């Protein structure tokens, strides 16, 4: 149980996928203009990251058994992720057309969201040595960390909507600077000794 | 006969005579005791830090406004506040060019790229400090004890080196050697630390001034300091020690109360202070740094728009649409 807490806290705060590992920047910048869409994107990513962690865990085991992991790992992981994203897309189109419209091109682009491939590869890393449950918790928490980052970011960007930005800063430049500043703030979590907090 | 003129105008009809510039210069005034204490305690190097920080901030502001073709508003004092606040959070012997880069970062990246005063999303001075901490961690963690301030340490004086009080507490120094810094010394600020954060007395004088003139809202400092004290108490630590050491007084009264980067709703402000207290305590005890005020406030700045959204008061007489 404690190991799961450590993994979870680490993936959300200490090595946040967006703000510390710098993965998943594309949807982070793309769909963070409104809090609602950012939240929708976050939930989609949580689902895909959790499921991808679960399925790629089995795929990785299979690949290693047949000695294929070296060259088949990336492509098979991407295939799994692409299928999951298609699945999310079908559900969203049926159940929430508004969100589907708002996410637009960024929804199919979760396929190439490097945070999702990133979590699958981190889980498969023998150095981490995650078991099935740990891998899934890492994927879920990674998604929660992504959601936290993108919702905070969207809240700040909404405030900028009416700011008299210098012409050169409008759009992506200011978003990148803002992302950098949030990332600096998240440095506060670096080196956090969670073991001590949990009394270990 | 002349008919009386009726002037129709939208609210507000009664205006305060306060202006942005007036408030900014009041904040500058309230920081003078802390700055003076820093110079008295740490000598000329502290004065160099203060002057170079303010100069760089004002120049950076004027430069940005010149380049973007806006009205140059350095006279409103906001750049002076940022420069002075940044200086007060720095080690007293930081080289002037590091100080100046930090102040320039604070103004340019922390404020002007967002459209200037009133539109920055993070406290500029703290953004500058976090930038310096990431760029020159060695210089930013080089501390010096004021002359003749180590008599409390007795035999173990040689083991202190260049650590702050919080740094020593973190290493378990006080428990190991069975000594403590007297409260009176912590209160007067005769200890190692950032040049404007050590003297609780000077900071409290400034804070009372700002509270008396209602420049700052008491909810944030109360939430911040109260939370920190309660958490320290719950964790079996000395709450007075936690309040008097590090940058928490400077942060709680002068940085967490910034109008622009904190929630505007009263409830939001209280939760803002509470979050700062929790984060400061967690980073102090379990984090990678001995002091967490900078990151705590920056993180809460990032959460401020969401806090504000969540704490909008109910409008009187509002009826739910579905009833």
Write the ipTM: 0.90
Q: Considering the domain boundaries, does residue B74 fall inside one?
A: yes
Q: Tell me, yes or no, if B116 comes closer than 8 A to chain A by beta carbon.
A: yes
B105, B140, B175: which is the final residue of a domain? B140
Q: Considering the domain boundaries, does residue B101 fall inside one?
A: yes
Q: Considering the domain boundaries, does residue B62 fall inside one?
A: yes
Structurally, chain B folds into a number of domains equal to 2
Q: What are the pLDDT digits (tens) for B50-64?
A: 999 999 999 999 999
Same domain, B83 and B164: no
Asked if the model's pLDDT at residue B276 lies above 90, the reply is yes
Residue B217: the pLDDT is 87
CB contact under 8 A, A164 and B301: no
Same domain, B127 and B224: no
CB contact under 8 A, A188 and B296: yes
Q: Which residues of A touch B116 (CB under 8 A)?
A: 164
Residue B33: the pLDDT is 94
B111, B140, B169: which is the final residue of a domain? B140
Q: What are the pLDDT digits (tens) for A65-76?
A: 998 888 888 899
B82, B106, B140: which is the final residue of a domain? B140
Residue A200: the pLDDT is 62
Measured CA to CA in angstroms, residue B155 lies from A171, B150, B179, B186 at distances of 60, 10, 10, 20
Q: Considering the domain boundaries, does residue B10 fall inside one?
A: no
- Give the domain range for residue B103: 20-140
Report percent pLDDT > 90 for chain B.
51
Residue B323: the pLDDT is 53
Q: Which residues of B touch A13 (CB under 8 A)?
A: none
* Residue pLDDT tens, chain A, 200 long: 888 888 999 899 999 999 999 998 888 998 888 998 899 889 889 988 998 999 999 999 999 899 888 888 889 999 999 998 898 888 888 988 888 887 877 788 888 788 899 999 998 888 888 899 999 999 999 999 999 999 999 999 999 888 888 888 888 899 999 999 999 999 999 888 887 777 76
Residue A55: the pLDDT is 92
Residue A127: the pLDDT is 81
Single pTM value for the model = 0.91
Same domain, B173 and B291: yes
Residue B27: the pLDDT is 93
Q: What are the pLDDT digits (tens) for B139-164?
A: 998 888 887 677 777 777 777 777 88
Asked if the model's pLDDT at residue B208 lies above 80, the reply is yes
Distance from CA of A58 to the nearest CA of B (A): 36
Return the residue of B nearest to A197 by Cα: B286
Instruction: Give the DSSP H/E element, type plus range, for residue A171.
Output: none
Task: Decide which of B4 and A150 is more confident.
Answer: A150
d(CA B197, CA B218): 19
């Amino acid at each position: 149980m404690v190991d799961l807490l450590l993994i979870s806290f680490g993936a959300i705060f200490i090595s946040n996928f967006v703000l510390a590992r710098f993965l998943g920047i594309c949807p982070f910048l793309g769909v963070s203009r409104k809090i609602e869409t950012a939240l929708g994107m976050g939930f989609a990513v949580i689902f895909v990251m959790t499921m991808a962690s679960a399925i790629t865990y089995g795929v990785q085991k299979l690949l290693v058994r047949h000695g294929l992991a070296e060259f088949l790992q990336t492509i098979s992981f991407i295939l799994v992720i692409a299928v999951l994203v298609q699945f999310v897309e079908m559900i969203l189109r049926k159940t929430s057309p508004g969100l589907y419209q708002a996410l637009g091109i960024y929804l199919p682009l979760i396929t190439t969201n490097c945070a999702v491939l990133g979590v699958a590869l981190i889980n498969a890393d023998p150095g981490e040595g995650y078991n099935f449950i740990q891998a899934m918790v890492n994927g879920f928490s990674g998604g929660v960390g992504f959601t936290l980052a993108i919702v905070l970011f969207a809240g700040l960007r909404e405030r900028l909507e009416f700011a008299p930005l210098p012409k050169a800063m409008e759009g992506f430049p200011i978003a990148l600077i803002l992302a950098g500043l949030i990332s600096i703030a998240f440095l506060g979590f670096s080196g956090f000794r969670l073991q001590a907090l949990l009394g270990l | 006969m002349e008919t009386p003129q009726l002037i129709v105008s939208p609210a507000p009809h009664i205006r305060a005579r306060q202006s942005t510039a007036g408030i900014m210069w009041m904040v500058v005034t309230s920081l003078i005791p802390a700055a003076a204490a820093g110079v008295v305690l740490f000598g000329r190097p502290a004065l160099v830090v203060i002057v170079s920080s303010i100069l760089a901030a004002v120049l950076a502001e004027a430069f940005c406004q010149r380049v973007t073709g806006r009205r140059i508003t350095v006279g409103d004092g906001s750049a002076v506040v940022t420069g002075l606040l940044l200086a007060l959070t720095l080690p007293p012997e930081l080289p002037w060019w590091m100080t100046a880069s930090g102040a320039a970062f604070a103004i340019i990246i922390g404020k002007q790229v967002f459209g200037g005063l009133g539109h920055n999303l993070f406290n500029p001075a703290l953004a500058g400090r976090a930038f310096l901490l990431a760029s020159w961690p060695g210089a930013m963690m080089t501390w010096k004890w004021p002359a003749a301030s180590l008599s409390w340490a007795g035999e173990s004086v040689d083991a202190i080196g260049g650590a702050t009080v919080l740094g020593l507490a973190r290493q378990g120094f006080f428990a190991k050697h069975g000594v403590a810094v007297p409260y009176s010394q912590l209160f007067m600020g005769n200890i190692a630390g950032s040049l404007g954060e050590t003297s609780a007395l000077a900071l409290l004088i400034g804070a009372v001034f700002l509270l008396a003139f209602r420049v700052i809202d008491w909810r944030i400092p109360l939430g911040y300091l109260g939370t920190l004290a309660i958490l320290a108490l719950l964790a079996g630590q000395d709450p007075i020690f936690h309040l008097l050491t590090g940058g928490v007084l400077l942060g709680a009264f002068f940085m967490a109360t910034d109008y622009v980067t904190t929630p505007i709703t009263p409830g939001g402000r209280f939760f803002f202070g509470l979050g700062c207290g929790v984060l400061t305590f967690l980073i102090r005890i379990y984090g990678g740094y001995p002091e967490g005020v900078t990151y705590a406030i920056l993180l809460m700045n990032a959460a401020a728009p969401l806090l504000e959204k969540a704490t909008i008061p109910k409008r009187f007489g509002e009826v739910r649409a579905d009833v």
